[in-house]
A = this chain, B = another copy of it.
Amino acid sequence: MNNQQSVAEAFIKYQTEKIRQYKADPSVPSFQLNNAEMELAQALQRKAKIQPTGGTRTSSNVILKVPKGTRDFHPAQMRLRSEVLNKITNIFKLHGAHQIDTPVFELKEILTGKYGDDSKLIYDLKDQGGEILSLRYDLTVPFARYVAMNKISSIKRYQIAKVYRRDNPAIARGRYREFYQCDFDVAGQYESMIPDAEIVKLLDEILSCLDIGKYVIKINHRKILDGIFQVAGVDPELFRGVSSSIDKLDKSPWEEVAAELETLRGLNKKQIGTIAMFVQISGSLSKVLNILMTNYEIMACSLAKEGIDDMMLLINYVKALGIPDSRVLFDLSLARGLDYYTGVIYEAIVESTTESEAIAVGSIAGGGRYDNLVGMFDANNRKVPCVGISIGVERIFSLLEQRKDSSLKPYDVEVYVASAQKDMVGHRLRLASLLWDAKLKAELSYKPNPKLLQQLQYCEETNIPWVIVIGQDEVARKVVKLRNVQSRAEVEVSESDIVSELKQRLAGAVLPSAVNN
């Protein structure tokens, strides 16, 4: 017997004895006995639920599980998920973004050659005759396909949808094979860094409203990174590979990355030394810009210079937008894995507050500018420059689930229709119908002759604040008893007034759930 079980046993023993005493004592009022019995019944039910669960097979010997790296979302989780997605959606809309949706799969060739090494993680569909399809790997490539196919020259869009990667799942860190991405992108020919700055603002708004603790938005620029490689004397053909190695710095120490640069990428010690010097630099936008601008070799490199010019604009815009210095970090080691970025790149990091969270957190958003992707889909190579950000909400869910009270009740039914006697189904249905038509959230027992005690118990357990109780007498007089579940106080209300009465009480009352939490 585990601890939970023994506590439950002890309470049941205590409560049983109390009821025996109440019954023996004629001075105890009947409502007190009723309440004690209700509490006992609840305890018995709770005890019944304390049972270990495990894997199982069905009667036809099928293993009963969800596919590797995926999960079901239970009602309480769905509530948290909707809450988070709604907050994000509202901020996307503040910035005037339009929502679009694309199919969960694309022609395989649309995805081919867009993800570099990660292409091996794409889920393919079986060839069942007809087109060869793959599940989407992100929302960026389908968006670029959408812009090219619909000949759109400018759009600010958001899309919230699941993407699929045959990666090694790490559930505790919130890494799944099926997961939501929330993407915001600005497509269009703009000679400025204004949309690039707006995205920093948008990200700051989202992260601050999600209440996930301290965070920092890392920024870098692909042209500055490539400029550094050029200054270090690296062959331009190796730039993306070197970038890919540098990208591992958030998980691996410099020594490992340096070893990979030497053995896998073929760089010499001097080249690695130069890169090492630069990628250690991080700090406020102005601090890092100052360091770069006093470096003669960097300023002589036209590629790096273009990136620096962009960052000069960005620093002014980020200031005008009122984003505090402490939440933005110019980090020359930020590289981002994907090939298609061409300008500014972003990554948001949540700082852990406890040791167990240190595992769960890390990067929760990433993005950047990709000016050539749409052109790859256009017959005339017509370019539509884009910049965007993708919020990886799965890690945010994991974080909030760890931090939040796990007893979060998913119910918000407002009123329950109960009967105190038998053969009242028709009247219960009639009253429930009245409530539904008035847009009140209502439930009733599905049993033909439920016991009143069980009905009231259900309301207490599920935090339903009000119960309408009827019997033959009430039906004959066209009234109902309106009972407050928490206080157990009852008033009689006429059937014709019950909707307005309930609406008033629901609007004004402090609900039991609000009091308990």
Residue on B with the closest CB to A60?
A: B376
Q: Which residues on the B side are within 8 Å of A191 (C-beta)?
A: 447-448
Query: How far does the Cβ of A205 sit from chain B's closest Cβ, in whole Å?
Result: 7
Query: How far does the Cβ of A468 sit from chain B's closest Cβ, in whole Å?
Result: 14
Complex CA distance for A462 and B104, rounded to whole angstroms: 30
- Is A483 among interface residues, defined by CB-CB distance under 8 A? no
How many copies the complex holds: the figure is 2
With A413-B96, A433-B201: A128-B133 Cβ-Cβ less than 8 Å:
no
Residue among A194, A316, A444, A447 facing the most chain B CB atoms (10 A cut-off): A194
Q: Which residues on the B side are within 8 Å of A337 (C-beta)?
A: none
Q: A443 touches which one: B66, B96, B146, B319 (CB < 8 A)?
A: B96
Establish whether residues B317 and A426, one from each chain, have CB atoms under 8 Å apart when the complex forms. yes
Could you say which of A24-32, A34-42, A106-114 contacts chain B? Answer: A106-114
Establish whether residues B440 and A58, one from each chain, have CB atoms under 8 Å apart when the complex forms. no
Q: Which residues on the B side are within 8 Å of A148 (C-beta)?
A: 58, 64
Query: How far does the Cβ of A310 sit from chain B's closest Cβ, in whole Å?
Result: 13
Chain A, residues 164-175, CB within 8 Å of chain B (1/0): the string is 101000000000
Q: Which residues on the B side are within 8 Å of A78 (C-beta)?
A: 98-101
- Is A427 among interface residues, defined by CB-CB distance under 8 A? yes
Complex CA distance for A149 and B65, rounded to whole angstroms: 7
Q: Which residues on the B side are within 8 Å of A444 (C-beta)?
A: 194
- Is A517 among interface residues, defined by CB-CB distance under 8 A? no
- Is A62 among interface residues, defined by CB-CB distance under 8 A? yes
Chain A, residues 304-328, CB within 8 Å of chain B (1/0): the string is 0000000000001101111000000
Establish whether residues B446 and A192, one from each chain, have CB atoms under 8 Å apart when the complex forms. yes
Establish whether residues B53 and A429, one from each chain, have CB atoms under 8 Å apart when the complex forms. no
Q: Which residues on the B side are within 8 Å of A376 (C-beta)?
A: 58-60
Q: Which residues on the B side are within 8 Å of A14 (C-beta)?
A: none
With A320-B430, A321-B430: A446-B190 Cβ-Cβ less than 8 Å:
yes
Establish whether residues B99 and A67, one from each chain, have CB atoms under 8 Å apart when the complex forms. no
Establish whether residues A63 and B94, one from each chain, have CB atoms under 8 Å apart when the complex forms. no
Q: Which residues on the B side are within 8 Å of A106 (C-beta)?
A: 66-67
Establish whether residues B102 and A322, one from each chain, have CB atoms under 8 Å apart when the complex forms. no
Establish whether residues B192 and A320, one from each chain, have CB atoms under 8 Å apart when the complex forms. no
With A62-B377, A94-B439, A379-B57: A100-B126 Cβ-Cβ less than 8 Å:
no
- Is A178 among interface residues, defined by CB-CB distance under 8 A? yes
Q: A56 touches which one: B178, B192, B379, B429 (CB < 8 A)?
A: B379
Residues of chain A at the chain B interface (Cβ within 8 Å): 53, 56-60, 62-68, 70-75, 78-79, 81-82, 90, 93-96, 98-107, 109-110, 112, 123-128, 130-131, 133, 135, 145-146, 148-151, 157, 162, 164, 166, 178, 186, 188, 190-192, 194-195, 197-198, 201, 205, 316-317, 319-322, 375-381, 410-413, 425-427, 429-430, 432-433, 436-437, 439-448
22 inter-chain pairs at a CB distance below 8 angstroms, sorted by A residue, are: A53-B151, A63-B107, A64-B149, A64-B377, A64-B379, A66-B103, A68-B131, A72-B100, A72-B102, A72-B103, A74-B100, A81-B101, A82-B99, A96-B441, A104-B164, A191-B448, A194-B425, A194-B448, A198-B429, A320-B433, A321-B429, A321-B432
